């Protein structure tokens, strides 16, 4: 590839990414659209129709959905805004039936979706680890209040 073509390709990718980021930011700020996206992503991730192709990313996708919901509901506030935007952009791509490899193509339609989710998950791994640790502590019973409620 010539340098001129490579530069044009990089500029096109930057323009596409900037557009996706703007759309994701607008979507996050609209509760109805945000919830519609998160519900659609959850359905795709849980779909038995593509279980074999999605088996490696189903739990990752569900974790990302929970991160956005918890942040939007102001339950968990330690996720950086840029991380939420990146997750939302990836979920938009994930639910879109017409992406780089159309999802209706048997066996290969979810390869690009899996690659996007996996790459995103790796790039925000520290945010994901903090979130899942928070979820674990939130789900754990409060042992101090349990022991103080016991008769002496």
Kindly report the pTM of this predicted structure.
0.70
> Which is nearest to 94 in space by CA: 72, 108, 80, 115?
115
34 by DSSP, 3-state: which?
Answer: helix
Is residue 146 predicted with pLDDT exceeding 60? Answer: no
116: its two tokens: 């996007």
57: its two tokens: 């990313």
Q: How many CA atoms lie within 13 A of 105 on its CB side?
A: 11
Summarised one tens digit per residue, pLDDT across range 52-88 is 455 667 888 889 999 999 999 999 999 999 999 999 9
Contact 39, 91 (CB under 8 A): no
Summarised one tens digit per residue, pLDDT across range 95-116 is 876 544 444 555 555 666 777 8
Of 6-15, 18-27, 84-93, the range with the highest mean pLDDT is 84-93
What pLDDT was estimated at residue 52? Answer: 46
71: its two tokens: 């942040």
């Amino acid at each position: 590839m010539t340098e001129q073509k490579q530069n044009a390709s990089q500029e096109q990718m930057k323009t596409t990414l900037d557009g996706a980021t703007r759309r994701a930011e607008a979507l996050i700020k609209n509760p109805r659209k945000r919830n519609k996206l998160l519900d659609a992503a959850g359905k795709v991730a849980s779909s038995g129709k593509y279980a074999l192709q999605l088996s490696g990313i189903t739990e990752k996708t569900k974790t990302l959905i929970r991160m956005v919901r918890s942040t939007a509901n102001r339950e968990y506030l330690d996720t950086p805004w840029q991380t939420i935007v990146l997750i939302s952009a990836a979920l938009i791509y994930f639910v879109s039936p017409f992406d780089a490899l159309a999802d209706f193509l048997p066996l290969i339609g979810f390869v690009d979706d899996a690659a996007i989710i996996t790459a995103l998950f790796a790039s925000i791994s520290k945010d994901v680890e903090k979130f899942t640790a928070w979820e674990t502590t939130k789900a754990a019973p409060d042992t101090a209040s349990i022991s103080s409620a016991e008769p002496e």
